[in-house]
């Protein structure tokens, strides 16, 4: 790694607008400082590999599993990387600890998939002071100073919500009253905030739509099912369930069927979902999920591209949104599912 560090220093010096211009750009410390720091110098034991510390949210959903796999398959020794992977088990404190450990280990890049948007200022300032670039992936962060992260790649979650609402407006057109149950993701995560805002705007704009229940299922199947079971007990007329991810949709459908009702295109209750994972699309093809908005988890190659740009002394775009689509149970085919990588 030392050779690459030296290369970085040269690049930084040669290209005035290079790494230094990129917020959080790595300013490698000289070798004696590395040694005197006494940290476990992972970067020195990696035979020229680029060391990436990745703090992952957890393993709450199929989306997350596909995302982890994408990162692990990209950041391999064969590709020139050493990946230090940390699963935060849906706890921000664990992510903060992981980032501090990455700083101690003097990784070359920190990649953070943040659980919630807030509470990152202090630890990211520590990373910045250590000269380690921080790449945010998937959800966004809300920090007072944008230079606390180098760049971000992920989805436009509000747009995803708007896409679902546009479909609902067409599919439910002419219905005088629509009783909506809203199963939210992890409260405070960008995926929850954007998808919830989309629905709430739709409810305000459509006078017949009524939000009869709104609760978090924390993006998991088990919690989605548990929450839906109790909502079903309290509400006899439910027309639509807006599930902020596939796994909560699976749980909600199980609860609906256990209560003697049916879900989907020929059922009592319309199901909206997000992610369009393989299992989610299989349920869409089966007709149990009416409409599934894609959220692409294959961020490994995207993050690698950003790292390669930084390695070359370039300044990547600060924010990069992924193109996404949506699937309707009325038109989806097996070929659509087979053509997908997750």
CB of 254 to ligand GYE, least distance (A): 17
Span from 9-17, 55-63, 235-243, 284-292 in contact with ligand GYE (CB under 6 A): 55-63
219 near ligand GYE (CB under 6 A):
yes
Site string for ligand GYE, 275-294 (x = CB under 6 A): x-------------------
Span from 58-66, 256-264, 307-315, 319-327 in contact with ligand GYE (CB under 6 A): 58-66
| Residue among 127, 124, 139 nearest 26 (CA) | 127
The interface with ligand GYE within residues 172-211 (CB under 6 A) comprises 191
* 118-to-137, 142, 144, 172, 190 alpha-carbon distances in Å: 15, 5, 10, 36, 10
Q: Which residue has the tokens 């909206």?
A: 272
CB of 18 to ligand GYE, least distance (A): 31
70 near ligand GYE (CB under 6 A):
no
Q: Which residues pair with 213 in a beta bridge?
A: 181
**Residue 39 or 282 with smaller CB distance to ligand GYE:** 282
Q: Could you say which DSSP state residue 38 is in?
A: -
Say how far apart CA 221 and CA 154 lie, in whole Å. Answer: 23
**Residue 128 or 274 with smaller CB distance to ligand GYE:** 274
Neighbours of 282 (CB within 10 A): 15
Neighbours of 173 (CB within 10 A): 8
User: Which helix (H) or strand (E) is 19 found in, with range?
Assistant: none
274 near ligand GYE (CB under 6 A):
yes
Q: Which residue has the tokens 């997000």?
A: 274
Say how far apart CA 17 and CA 9 lie, in whole Å. Answer: 13
Q: How many residues make contact with ligand GYE (CB under 6 A)?
A: 13
Span from 15-23, 35-43, 61-69, 221-229 in contact with ligand GYE (CB under 6 A): 61-69
Span from 56-64, 145-153, 174-182, 310-318 in contact with ligand GYE (CB under 6 A): 56-64
Q: Which of 98, 141, 249, 295 binds ligand GYE (CB under 6 A)?
A: 295
**Residue 84 or 113 with smaller CB distance to ligand GYE:** 113
- The answer to whether 269 and 256 have CB atoms below 8 angstroms apart is yes
60 near ligand GYE (CB under 6 A):
yes
- The answer to whether 97 and 32 have CB atoms below 8 angstroms apart is no
CB of 128 to ligand GYE, least distance (A): 24
Contacts of 46 (CB under 8 A, 6+ apart): 1, 82
Q: Which residues bind ligand GYE (CB under 6 A)?
A: 60-61, 63-64, 138-139, 155, 191, 219, 245, 274-275, 295
């Amino acid at each position: 790694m030392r050779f690459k560090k030296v290369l970085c220093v040269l690049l930084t010096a040669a290209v005035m607008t290079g790494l230094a211009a990129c917020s959080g750009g790595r300013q490698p410390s000289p070798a004696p400082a590395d040694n005197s720091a006494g940290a476990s110098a992972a970067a020195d034991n990696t035979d020229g590999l680029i060391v990436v510390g990745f703090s992952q949210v957890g393993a709450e959903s199929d989306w997350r599993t596909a995302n982890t796999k994408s990162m692990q398959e990209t950041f391999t020794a064969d590709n020139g990387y050493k990946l230090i992977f940390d699963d935060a088990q849906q706890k921000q404190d664990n992510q903060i600890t992981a980032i501090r450990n990455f700083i101690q280990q003097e990784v070359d890049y920190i990649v953070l998939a943040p659980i919630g948007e807030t509470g990152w200022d202090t630890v990211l300032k520590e990373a910045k002071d250590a000269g380690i670039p921080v790449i945010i992936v998937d959800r966004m962060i809300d920090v007072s100073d944008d230079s606390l992260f180098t760049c971000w790649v992920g989805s436009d979650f509000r747009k995803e919500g708007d896409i679902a609402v546009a479909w609902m407006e067409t599919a439910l057109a002419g219905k005088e009253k629509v009783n909506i149950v809203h199963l939210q993701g992890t409260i405070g995560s960008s995926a929850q905030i954007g998808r919830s805002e989309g629905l709430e705007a739709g409810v305000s704009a459509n006078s017949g739509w009524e939000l009869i229940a709104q609760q978090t299922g924390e993006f998991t199947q088990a919690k989605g099912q548990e929450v839906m079971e109790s909502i079903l007990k309290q509400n006899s007329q439910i027309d639509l369930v807006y599930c902020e991810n596939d796994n909560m949709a699976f749980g909600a459908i199980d609860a609906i069927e256990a209560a003697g009702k049916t879900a989907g295109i020929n059922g009592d209750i319309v199901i909206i979902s997000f992610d369009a994972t393989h299992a989610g699309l299989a349920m869409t093809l089966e007709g149990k999920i009416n409409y599934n908005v894609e959220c692409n988890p294959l961020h490994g190659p995207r993050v690698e591209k950003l790292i390669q740009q930084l390695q070359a002394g370039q300044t990547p775009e600060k924010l990069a949104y992924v193109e996404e689509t949506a699937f309707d149970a009325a038109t989806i085919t097996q070929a659509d599912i087979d053509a997908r990588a997750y």
